Amino acid sequence: MFRLSLLPLILFTFQAQAATTNTFVYCALPDGSHWDWAYDTNSQDVEVQGSWGVKRVARGGYFDKFRIPESTYQLIQQFCPSGYVPHPEKPHSIWWEVFEVVRVDGSTYIADGHKSIHGMNRHHNHYFRSL
């Protein structure tokens, strides 16, 4: 009798979602009306390492998030002008993504920022991010 095991597929899927990657950072006003790339003190693009994920919300909606340690989030905040908040840049995306910040104790929170909510009849309270 032939049995198909889903365990390797499940493990591969989990590992793929948890894989770390680098992404660039941009700074935006909380309402999404203006944004610009974040640059360090040497005028280089700010880049962080983390992992992409999805946060589910009410009525089947979701938004994309980029998970980083709180120490990294605190560091990149200094590269944004006053009143602006850092956002992760998802390659080839016109949508707004946000950071999920991991505290030292392992708890997490979604950082302030404009986000695109997908999977509903329409996208709520956001603008397209011009590339």
Q: Is 53 inside any structural domain?
A: yes
Residue 7 within a domain: no
Predicted confidence (pLDDT) per residue in 98-123, tens digit = 999 999 999 999 999 999 888 866 55
User: For residue 120, how many other CB atoms are within 10 A of its CB?
Assistant: 13
The widest CA-to-CA distance across the chain, in whole angstroms, is 66
Residues 6+ apart with CB under 8 A from 129: 32, 35, 93, 94, 95, 96
In a domain? residue 120:
no
Nearest of 90, 115, 86 to residue 101 by alpha carbon: 86
Q: Extract the tokens encoding 6.
A: 């889903």
User: Could you give the angle at the alpha carbon of 89 between the alpha carbons of 51 and 113, nearest 5°?
Assistant: 90
Q: Is residue 115 in a domain?
A: no
- Inside any domain, residue 2: no
Q: Evaluate whether residue 58 is within a structural domain.
A: yes
Q: What is the 3-state secondary structure (H, E, C) of 2-61?
A: CCCCCHHHHHHHHHHHHCCEEEEEEEECCCCCCEEECECCCCCECEEEEEEEEEECHHHC
In a domain, 55, yes or no: yes
Average pLDDT, the chain: 83
Enclosing domain of residue 29: 20-110
Categorize the per-residue pLDDT at 60 as very low, low, confident or very high, splitting at 50, 70 and 90: confident
Domain count of the fold of the chain: 1
Q: Taking the model in full, what pTM does it have?
A: 0.77
pLDDT of residue 76: 97
Residue scoring higher pLDDT (2 or 67): 67
Residue 10 has pLDDT above 50, yes or no: no
Task: Kindly state whether residue 28 falls inside one of the protein's structural domains.
Answer: yes
